[in-house]
Chain A
Amino acid sequence: MKTIYLIKYAEIGVKGKNRYVFEDALVKQIRFALKRTEGEFEVWRAQGRIYIDGPDDYSFTEDLPQGNPIDEQLRDQLGRVFGIAGFCPVVSVEDDGFDKLAEEVVSYMQRTYKEGEHTFKVFARRARKSYPMESPEICMELGGRILDACDNLSVNVHEPEIELNVEVRERIFIYSRIIPGLGGMPIGSGGKAMLLLSGGIDSPVAGYMIAKRGVSLEAVYFHAPPYTSERAKQKVVDLAEKVSIYTGPIRLHVINFTDIQMAIYEKCPHDELTIIMRRYMMRIAEHIAKETECLGLVTGESIGQVASQTMQSLLSTNEVCTLPVYRPLIAFDKQDIVDVSEKIDTYETSILPYEDCCTIFVAKHPVTRPDPEIIRRHEGNLSEVIDELMEKALTDHEVIRVHG
């Protein structure tokens, strides 16, 4: 007898003929995540399922939540892989005849559900068709033996608390508990997007949420020395690294935005600074996105959070792009965003006091309902210099590879 893990996946099951693409991506991501543990594990697939097995005689700890350190590392890592709905500690036994199996099952139920009254139902699956008993027969017989042996357990076939699974394969698998995973879809199954990353709370969360749908990320950060410091940039690199624990490696494009920012400051109305800056950021982000084969842009915007995120402002920043702009936080309240950022451990970094944008470039009273027509006209003031500045910003841009 040894304990292994069965991975349950969320939506992959419904992907029809493309199913293998998703499964391959998931197995790859799991293997990648497990490299961060001290243990050596084998990830294998059989009949539409993914299992994780320790080396040779290694048996995972059955008990939750305290396992040995390697088990904890494993669970920790699996808890960060998108596409896993849950993972189950599975007791795997040799097939030594039905009586021996029934003994193992009863012992499993006794040690797993020592206390309290519980209802259960047996689900048997006979993947090895040569097994002498059929599934309903296995269910009935095992149910009976459990009832005989355990006073605190009773059968409820409609709404059982405990779903006891017994799968007859080469070996026989017994499991009933699921440790919930992150859900979503495996990275690499959904194309690539360009995240506009700042040092704030929102954009790392936005990146995480998009990645949860299987999307891998590139990121772009706009810095403005000497108006922003080297520390502000380092903070963004640190955030990208934290996000990449979930999303896989990220290429972070760092754009020097100073000259563009100063040109806007000098030539455009002050209360429109932020909105016009945002429009150029979107244009630059889209340019790099197209060059790097990204299929969309991602921002951390949420309606009404600040002046540049009103519906009118979003309309104005949105119109400069042809790629779709994904805004996963659009209907989130600030506290909900903070909650996720704490969960993914970006919050503490985000609140460090190094600012992304010097207050000089933030109007005291920015427009909240910019008229796209007027913004376009004022942007025209930049026509003599902007092409050259954009060109320069794009050619000089620095790329930093981060992986958590």
Chain B
Amino acid sequence: MIYLDNSATTKTDPKAAELMLRIMTEDFGNPSSLHQKGVEAEGYIREAKKTIGGILKAEEKELYFTSGGTESDNWAVFSAAKTGQRKGKRIITTQIEHPAVLEPFKELERQGYEAIYLPVDGNGFVDENALAEALSEDTILVSVMYVNNEVGSIQPVSRIGSMVKEKVPDAIFHVDAVQAFGKLPILPGREKIDLLSVSGHKIHGPKGTGLLYASSKVRMVPYLFGGGQQKNMRSGTENVPGIAGLAEAAKLSYANLEEDRRSLYALKDYFAKELTALPDVEINGPAVGQQETADAADRTDAPHIVNASFLGVRSEVLLHSLEDREIYVSAGSACSSHKQTGSATLRAMGLSAGRLESAIRFSFSVHTTKEELDTTLEALRELLPALRRFTRR
């Protein structure tokens, strides 16, 4: 099996899984309990906060554990909208966000907020001029993703943070870092990020776990009420094994970050180059070829995502053909005859219909090998000519 769909989810790291098993079967106490078992469980949460706080250079009181990226995004957006409602109604995001941000924005629009969806360029980067124009005095929230989940463009988060704070100091800056955490160094304090969303299962941690970083300068409003856990901000018995698993996975992701990043970029550049050598293949997103010489720290493309269009071959057909050879990838669009298809991100980038309906995302992990990519390329070389014989006429 060759798994190239790591932006969808990842294999849980055995170390994280072992730790979780131990917590579930032995150190299973409720952190709120007064006795030794409770103290023991609370210890895991403290340890997790210390680990993640160290990575983000954040204080422990700025970290909240959630059920995943969707909850973190929802909480961030709705909390910011509520605390800012007396100062204004304008909320700004991009056209390429994950639904976990876009749908809360749409809900807020229904509640009377004024939402602005910033356009992106052909490579999937947000239009900073449009942001500058949109940042009015009554702006209360700006939400921009760190790394786009479909094409891997790294948004200029640091510049955006500075721009927001300069123009509208009171506005809250939220960053969905689900695809960036574990892949890039992230320092919310330096990048002027107020709220940051993280998911566990994208970094070899368990599903159902996530994190919201909330700067101590920002007031949060709770939306889950109950036993008062997590400083009354998110009630509910903490998912201790999940939290510990998430922290363990984060620790492993950042242990050799620079080295891992370099080897991922090397794999990515190799793969992208071989892909473009095939006839009628277009890379979608940041132009890979131009970045190869750049230092890893200066690159604007994520190390783990390659999105390519195989012109004349429907995404879903290629996906299933690769699946047949136990190669797992992701398709931007489903093979549907009567619905608008194609990913919202690719559409926002203004790609042609031909590229939209033939886009495939390959996403790597540290476990991905060059041999696996060679096998995948070989499969593509065999499959593409055969599949191209059958196109809609």
- Count: A-B pairs, CB below 8 Å: 51
Partner of A226, one of B323, B334, B389, B391: B323
Q: Is B316 an interface residue (CB 8 A)?
A: yes
Most buried by A among B318, B335, B337, B339: B335
Q: Is B320 an interface residue (CB 8 A)?
A: yes
Give B51-92 interface residues, CB cut-off 8 Å to A. none
Q: Is A353 an interface residue (CB 8 A)?
A: yes
Query: In the complex, which residues of chain B have a beta carbon less than 8 angstroms from the beta carbon of A354?
Result: 334
Question: A358–B314 contact, CB under 8 A?
Answer: yes
Band of interface residues on A: 20 to 34
Contact with B along A210-234 (1 / 0, CB 8 A): 0000000000000001111110000
Q: Is A46 an interface residue (CB 8 A)?
A: no
Q: B389 — nearest CB in chain A belongs to which residue? A: A266
Q: Is A359 an interface residue (CB 8 A)?
A: yes
Q: Is A208 an interface residue (CB 8 A)?
A: no
Distance between Cα atoms of A227 and B314 in the complex (Å): 9
Distance between Cα atoms of A358 and B314 in the complex (Å): 9
Shortest beta-carbon distance, A271 to chain B, in Å? 9
Task: With A225-B324, A227-B320 as known contacts, state yes or no: A359 contacts B392, CB within 8 Å.
Answer: yes
Q: Is B393 an interface residue (CB 8 A)?
A: yes
Question: B320–A360 contact, CB under 8 A?
Answer: no
Query: In the complex, which residues of chain B have a beta carbon less than 8 angstroms from the beta carbon of A226?
Result: 317-321, 323-324
Partner of A363, one of B318, B319, B320, B393: B393
Question: A360–B316 contact, CB under 8 A?
Answer: no
Distance between Cα atoms of A265 and B389 in the complex (Å): 9
Shortest beta-carbon distance, B174 to chain A, in Å? 31
Task: With A226-B323, A226-B324, A262-B390 as known contacts, state yes or no: A360 contacts B317, CB within 8 Å.
Answer: yes
Distance between Cα atoms of A270 and B337 in the complex (Å): 17
Query: In the complex, which residues of chain A have a beta carbon less than 8 angstroms from the beta carbon of B318?
Result: 226
Q: A362 — nearest CB in chain B belongs to which residue? A: B337
Q: Is A355 an interface residue (CB 8 A)?
A: yes
Q: B322 — nearest CB in chain A belongs to which residue? A: A226
Distance between Cα atoms of A362 and B320 in the complex (Å): 19
Question: A362–B323 contact, CB under 8 A?
Answer: no
Question: B323–A364 contact, CB under 8 A?
Answer: no
Partner of A229, one of B316, B337, B392: B316
Question: B390–A225 contact, CB under 8 A?
Answer: no
Shortest beta-carbon distance, A227 to chain B, in Å? 6
Q: Is B129 an interface residue (CB 8 A)?
A: no
Most buried by B among A354, A358, A364: A358
Query: In the complex, which residues of chain A have a beta carbon less than 8 angstroms from the beta carbon of B337?
Result: 355, 359, 362
Give the dominant DSSP class at A's interface: loop
Distance between Cα atoms of A286 and B17 in the complex (Å): 53
Contact with A along B363-393 (1 / 0, CB 8 A): 0000000000000000000000000011111
Question: A364–B321 contact, CB under 8 A?
Answer: no
Question: B390–A265 contact, CB under 8 A?
Answer: yes
Shortest beta-carbon distance, B77 to chain A, in Å? 27
Question: B390–A360 contact, CB under 8 A?
Answer: yes
Shortest beta-carbon distance, B332 to chain A, in Å? 14
Give B293-325 interface residues, CB cut-off 8 Å to A. 314, 316-321, 323-324
Distance between Cα atoms of A361 and B387 in the complex (Å): 12
Q: Is B336 an interface residue (CB 8 A)?
A: yes
Shortest beta-carbon distance, A385 to chain B, in Å? 15
Question: B336–A353 contact, CB under 8 A?
Answer: yes
Partner of B317, one of A266, A270, A358, A364: A358
Query: In the complex, which residues of chain A have a beta carbon less than 8 angstroms from the beta carbon of B320?
Result: 225-230
Question: B339–A360 contact, CB under 8 A?
Answer: no
Contact with B along A344-369 (1 / 0, CB 8 A): 00000000011100111111100000
Contact with B along A147-163 (1 / 0, CB 8 A): 00000000000000000
Query: In the complex, which residues of chain B have a beta carbon less than 8 angstroms from the beta carbon of A358?
Result: 314, 316-317, 335
Shortest beta-carbon distance, B75 to chain A, in Å? 30
Query: In the complex, which residues of chain B have a beta carbon less than 8 angstroms from the beta carbon of A262?
Result: 390
Distance between Cα atoms of A265 and B392 in the complex (Å): 10
Query: In the complex, which residues of chain B have a beta carbon less than 8 angstroms from the beta carbon of A266?
Result: 389
Counting from the closest, the 3 A-B pairs by CB-CB distance are A226-B320, A226-B321, A359-B337
* A binding-site residues for B, Cβ under 8 Å: 225-230, 262, 265-266, 270, 353-355, 358-364
- Contacts A/B (CB < 8 Å), 25 sampled: A225-B320, A226-B320, A226-B321, A226-B323, A226-B324, A227-B317, A227-B320, A227-B335, A228-B320, A353-B334, A353-B339, A354-B334, A355-B335, A358-B317, A358-B335, A359-B314, A359-B335, A359-B337, A360-B314, A360-B390, A360-B392, A361-B390, A363-B393, A364-B392, A364-B393
